[in-house]
Structure 1
Amino acid sequence: MDLTIHQTFLPHTNPASSLAFYRDTLGFEVHNDVEYGDLHWITVCPPGQPGTSIVLHPPAAVPGVTEDERRTITEMMAKGTYATLILATTDLDGVFDRLQASDAEVVQEPTEQPYGVRDCAFRDPAGNLIRIQERR
Protein backbone atom coordinates (compact mmCIF):
# COMPACT_ATOMS: atom_id res chain seq x y z
CA MET A 1 0.00 0.00 0.00
CA ASP A 2 1.32 3.47 -0.90
CA LEU A 3 -0.12 6.02 1.54
CA THR A 4 1.16 9.42 2.58
CA ILE A 5 -0.23 12.10 4.86
CA HIS A 6 -1.52 14.84 2.57
CA GLN A 7 -3.46 17.17 4.87
CA THR A 8 -4.50 17.46 8.45
CA PHE A 9 -6.99 19.94 9.84
CA LEU A 10 -6.58 22.16 12.91
CA PRO A 11 -9.24 24.60 14.06
CA HIS A 12 -8.45 28.27 14.53
CA THR A 13 -10.26 31.07 16.34
CA ASN A 14 -8.48 34.00 14.71
CA PRO A 15 -7.17 33.65 11.15
CA ALA A 16 -4.75 36.59 11.40
CA SER A 17 -3.05 35.35 14.58
CA SER A 18 -2.95 31.75 13.29
CA LEU A 19 -1.43 32.93 10.01
CA ALA A 20 1.20 34.95 11.88
CA PHE A 21 2.06 31.97 14.10
CA TYR A 22 2.37 29.32 11.38
CA ARG A 23 3.88 31.56 8.68
CA ASP A 24 5.98 34.08 10.61
CA THR A 25 6.94 32.18 13.76
CA LEU A 26 7.18 28.60 12.47
CA GLY A 27 8.23 29.59 8.94
CA PHE A 28 5.57 27.59 7.10
CA GLU A 29 4.59 28.54 3.55
CA VAL A 30 1.03 29.63 2.78
CA HIS A 31 -0.47 27.59 -0.03
CA ASN A 32 -4.08 28.68 0.20
CA ASP A 33 -6.00 31.45 1.93
CA VAL A 34 -9.74 31.25 1.34
CA GLU A 35 -12.55 33.31 2.78
CA TYR A 36 -16.20 32.40 2.33
CA GLY A 37 -18.60 34.70 4.10
CA ASP A 38 -17.36 34.99 7.67
CA LEU A 39 -15.40 31.71 7.44
CA HIS A 40 -11.67 31.56 6.71
CA TRP A 41 -9.44 28.61 5.76
CA ILE A 42 -5.64 28.84 5.55
CA THR A 43 -3.46 26.03 4.19
CA VAL A 44 0.20 26.03 5.28
CA CYS A 45 3.04 23.58 4.78
CA PRO A 46 6.64 23.22 5.91
CA PRO A 47 9.08 24.78 3.42
CA GLY A 48 9.97 22.36 0.65
CA GLN A 49 7.17 19.95 1.57
CA PRO A 50 4.17 21.03 -0.53
CA GLY A 51 2.67 17.53 -0.40
CA THR A 52 2.01 17.72 3.35
CA SER A 53 -0.11 20.55 4.69
CA ILE A 54 -2.13 21.80 7.62
CA VAL A 55 -5.51 23.31 6.90
CA LEU A 56 -6.43 25.85 9.57
CA HIS A 57 -10.20 26.07 9.65
CA PRO A 58 -12.93 27.75 11.67
CA PRO A 59 -14.70 25.38 14.09
CA ALA A 60 -18.00 26.55 12.60
CA ALA A 61 -17.01 24.94 9.28
CA VAL A 62 -17.32 21.36 10.54
CA PRO A 63 -20.42 19.92 8.86
CA GLY A 64 -23.09 18.29 10.99
CA VAL A 65 -21.86 19.78 14.26
CA THR A 66 -24.44 21.38 16.52
CA GLU A 67 -23.99 24.76 18.19
CA ASP A 68 -23.47 23.01 21.56
CA GLU A 69 -20.78 20.80 20.01
CA ARG A 70 -19.06 23.86 18.48
CA ARG A 71 -19.05 25.51 21.90
CA THR A 72 -17.50 22.36 23.41
CA ILE A 73 -14.86 22.27 20.66
CA THR A 74 -13.99 25.93 21.32
CA GLU A 75 -13.73 25.27 25.08
CA MET A 76 -11.49 22.25 24.48
CA MET A 77 -9.31 24.29 22.08
CA ALA A 78 -8.82 26.96 24.75
CA LYS A 79 -7.58 24.28 27.16
CA GLY A 80 -5.32 22.66 24.57
CA THR A 81 -7.22 19.37 24.73
CA TYR A 82 -8.97 19.32 21.35
CA ALA A 83 -6.12 18.86 18.86
CA THR A 84 -2.41 18.09 18.97
CA LEU A 85 0.20 18.44 16.25
CA ILE A 86 3.66 16.92 16.58
CA LEU A 87 6.43 18.48 14.49
CA ALA A 88 10.09 17.46 14.26
CA THR A 89 13.32 19.41 13.89
CA THR A 90 17.07 18.86 14.06
CA ASP A 91 17.42 22.14 16.03
CA LEU A 92 15.00 21.89 18.96
CA ASP A 93 16.77 24.54 21.03
CA GLY A 94 16.78 27.03 18.13
CA VAL A 95 13.08 26.46 17.42
CA PHE A 96 12.28 26.73 21.13
CA ASP A 97 14.15 30.05 21.37
CA ARG A 98 12.28 31.39 18.34
CA LEU A 99 8.90 30.33 19.74
CA GLN A 100 9.71 31.63 23.21
CA ALA A 101 10.66 35.02 21.71
CA SER A 102 7.21 35.18 20.07
CA ASP A 103 3.96 35.44 21.98
CA ALA A 104 3.41 31.66 21.82
CA GLU A 105 2.37 30.07 25.10
CA VAL A 106 5.11 27.76 26.39
CA VAL A 107 3.68 24.54 27.82
CA GLN A 108 6.96 22.67 28.30
CA GLU A 109 10.60 23.60 27.81
CA PRO A 110 12.88 21.16 25.95
CA THR A 111 12.86 17.97 28.00
CA GLU A 112 14.27 14.47 27.65
CA GLN A 113 11.15 12.29 27.82
CA PRO A 114 11.16 8.83 29.45
CA TYR A 115 9.89 7.35 26.17
CA GLY A 116 13.12 8.25 24.37
CA VAL A 117 12.55 11.62 22.67
CA ARG A 118 13.56 15.15 23.53
CA ASP A 119 10.79 17.64 22.88
CA CYS A 120 9.04 20.83 23.93
CA ALA A 121 5.43 22.01 23.76
CA PHE A 122 3.55 25.22 22.93
CA ARG A 123 0.01 26.26 22.23
CA ASP A 124 -0.85 27.96 18.97
CA PRO A 125 -3.09 31.08 19.08
CA ALA A 126 -6.23 28.90 19.09
CA GLY A 127 -4.98 26.76 21.99
CA ASN A 128 -4.02 23.69 19.93
CA LEU A 129 -1.12 21.82 21.52
CA ILE A 130 2.01 21.81 19.36
CA ARG A 131 4.79 19.43 20.41
CA ILE A 132 8.14 19.67 18.68
CA GLN A 133 10.44 16.65 18.81
CA GLU A 134 14.15 16.66 18.14
CA ARG A 135 15.22 14.48 15.21
CA ARG A 136 18.45 12.71 16.06
Structure 2
Amino acid sequence: MIKSLSHATIYVTDHDEALDFYTKKLGFEVRMDATMDGFRWVTVAPKDQPQLELVLMKLAPSPVMDEGTVAQMRELLSKGAFGTGVFATADCRGTHAELSAKGVEFIQPPTERPYGTEAVFKDPFGNWFSLTQHRQ
Protein backbone atom coordinates (compact mmCIF):
# COMPACT_ATOMS: atom_id res chain seq x y z
CA MET A 1 0.00 0.00 0.00
CA ILE A 2 1.28 3.48 -0.86
CA LYS A 3 1.74 5.57 2.29
CA SER A 4 2.90 8.96 0.99
CA LEU A 5 4.76 10.92 -1.64
CA SER A 6 8.40 11.20 -0.57
CA HIS A 7 10.02 12.94 -3.57
CA ALA A 8 8.90 15.36 -6.27
CA THR A 9 11.01 16.43 -9.26
CA ILE A 10 11.91 19.96 -10.29
CA TYR A 11 13.85 20.17 -13.56
CA VAL A 12 16.87 22.49 -13.59
CA THR A 13 19.72 23.17 -15.99
CA ASP A 14 22.50 23.65 -13.42
CA HIS A 15 22.79 21.90 -10.06
CA ASP A 16 25.01 24.50 -8.41
CA GLU A 17 22.80 27.41 -9.46
CA ALA A 18 19.76 25.45 -8.27
CA LEU A 19 21.35 24.74 -4.90
CA ASP A 20 22.23 28.42 -4.51
CA PHE A 21 18.65 29.48 -5.23
CA TYR A 22 16.82 26.85 -3.20
CA THR A 23 19.11 27.05 -0.14
CA LYS A 24 20.25 30.69 0.00
CA LYS A 25 17.13 32.39 -1.31
CA LEU A 26 14.34 30.04 -0.26
CA GLY A 27 16.07 28.76 2.88
CA PHE A 28 15.73 25.05 2.12
CA GLU A 29 18.23 22.52 3.39
CA VAL A 30 20.21 20.07 1.29
CA ARG A 31 19.06 16.53 2.02
CA MET A 32 21.28 14.74 -0.50
CA ASP A 33 24.06 15.72 -2.88
CA ALA A 34 25.80 12.62 -4.16
CA THR A 35 27.34 11.49 -7.42
CA MET A 36 26.82 7.86 -8.39
CA ASP A 37 28.19 6.44 -11.65
CA GLY A 38 28.52 9.96 -13.07
CA PHE A 39 24.94 10.92 -12.13
CA ARG A 40 24.45 13.67 -9.53
CA TRP A 41 21.47 13.18 -7.20
CA VAL A 42 20.50 16.42 -5.44
CA THR A 43 17.53 16.90 -3.12
CA VAL A 44 16.40 19.83 -0.98
CA ALA A 45 13.43 20.56 1.24
CA PRO A 46 12.00 23.07 3.68
CA LYS A 47 13.70 22.51 7.03
CA ASP A 48 10.45 21.72 8.83
CA GLN A 49 9.21 19.15 6.31
CA PRO A 50 11.21 15.96 6.82
CA GLN A 51 8.82 13.69 4.90
CA LEU A 52 9.32 15.33 1.47
CA GLU A 53 12.38 15.92 -0.70
CA LEU A 54 12.47 17.96 -3.90
CA VAL A 55 14.72 16.36 -6.50
CA LEU A 56 16.66 18.99 -8.44
CA MET A 57 16.93 16.98 -11.66
CA LYS A 58 19.36 18.34 -14.21
CA LEU A 59 18.00 18.14 -17.73
CA ALA A 60 20.49 15.96 -19.58
CA PRO A 61 20.34 12.97 -21.89
CA SER A 62 19.81 9.73 -19.97
CA PRO A 63 18.43 6.25 -20.49
CA VAL A 64 14.92 7.70 -20.13
CA MET A 65 15.37 11.01 -21.99
CA ASP A 66 17.06 11.41 -25.37
CA GLU A 67 18.71 14.61 -26.61
CA GLY A 68 15.63 15.70 -28.58
CA THR A 69 13.42 15.39 -25.52
CA VAL A 70 15.97 17.26 -23.40
CA ALA A 71 15.96 20.10 -25.95
CA GLN A 72 12.15 20.24 -25.89
CA MET A 73 12.10 20.23 -22.09
CA ARG A 74 14.71 22.99 -21.91
CA GLU A 75 12.66 25.13 -24.29
CA LEU A 76 9.48 24.61 -22.27
CA LEU A 77 11.33 25.27 -19.03
CA SER A 78 12.79 28.54 -20.33
CA LYS A 79 9.30 29.63 -21.41
CA GLY A 80 7.95 29.12 -17.90
CA ALA A 81 5.66 26.28 -18.90
CA PHE A 82 6.03 24.36 -15.64
CA GLY A 83 3.99 25.32 -12.58
CA THR A 84 5.56 22.83 -10.25
CA GLY A 85 3.86 23.31 -6.92
CA VAL A 86 2.42 25.32 -4.08
CA PHE A 87 4.49 26.34 -1.06
CA ALA A 88 2.48 27.11 2.07
CA THR A 89 3.30 30.06 4.30
CA ALA A 90 1.70 31.52 7.40
CA ASP A 91 2.30 35.08 6.10
CA CYS A 92 2.23 35.49 2.33
CA ARG A 93 2.89 39.24 2.37
CA GLY A 94 5.78 38.91 4.83
CA THR A 95 7.34 35.99 2.97
CA HIS A 96 6.91 37.86 -0.32
CA ALA A 97 8.81 40.84 1.14
CA GLU A 98 11.56 38.60 2.58
CA LEU A 99 12.08 36.64 -0.65
CA SER A 100 11.88 39.75 -2.84
CA ALA A 101 14.67 41.31 -0.73
CA LYS A 102 16.79 38.21 -1.48
CA GLY A 103 16.26 38.68 -5.23
CA VAL A 104 13.51 36.13 -5.85
CA GLU A 105 11.54 37.15 -8.94
CA PHE A 106 7.79 37.33 -8.40
CA ILE A 107 5.47 37.21 -11.38
CA GLN A 108 2.41 37.98 -9.25
CA PRO A 109 2.37 39.99 -6.02
CA PRO A 110 0.31 38.84 -3.04
CA THR A 111 -3.29 38.72 -4.22
CA GLU A 112 -6.46 37.77 -2.36
CA ARG A 113 -8.05 34.60 -3.72
CA PRO A 114 -11.04 32.55 -2.54
CA TYR A 115 -8.61 30.05 -0.93
CA GLY A 116 -6.29 32.62 0.67
CA THR A 117 -3.52 35.04 -0.22
CA GLU A 118 -1.30 33.95 -3.11
CA ALA A 119 1.87 35.27 -4.73
CA VAL A 120 3.66 33.55 -7.62
CA PHE A 121 7.44 33.40 -8.07
CA LYS A 122 9.82 31.61 -10.37
CA ASP A 123 13.20 30.00 -10.00
CA PRO A 124 16.17 30.89 -12.25
CA PHE A 125 15.19 28.17 -14.72
CA GLY A 126 11.56 29.19 -15.34
CA ASN A 127 9.72 26.88 -12.92
CA TRP A 128 7.00 28.82 -11.16
CA PHE A 129 5.47 28.24 -7.77
CA SER A 130 2.47 29.50 -5.88
CA LEU A 131 3.24 30.88 -2.43
CA THR A 132 -0.04 30.57 -0.53
CA GLN A 133 -1.35 31.57 2.85
CA HIS A 134 -4.49 29.46 3.15
CA ARG A 135 -7.61 30.90 4.72
CA GLN A 136 -8.20 29.79 8.29
TM-score computed with the length of structure 2 as normaliser: 0.86
Distance 2:119 2:20 in 1: 20
Change (3 A) 1:8 1:42: same
Unaligned regions of 5+ residues in structure 1, if any? none
Kindly state the Cα deviation for residue 98 of structure 1 after the two structures are TM-superposed.
1.9
1:5 aligned partner? 5
Distance 2:73 2:121 in 1: 19
Unaligned regions of 5+ residues in structure 2, if any? none
Q: Does 2:112 correspond to 1:112? A: yes
| Segment drifting more, 55-64 vs 80-89 | 55-64
TM-score computed with the length of structure 1 as normaliser: 0.86
Distance 1:130 1:106 in 2: 9
The size of the alignment, in residue pairs, is: 135
1:50 aligned partner? 50
* Aligned-partner SS, 1:60: coil
Distance 2:8 2:61 in 1: 15
| Segment drifting more, 70-79 vs 97-106 | 97-106
Aligned partner letter, 2:35: E
Aligned CA RMSD, in angstroms, stands at 2.1
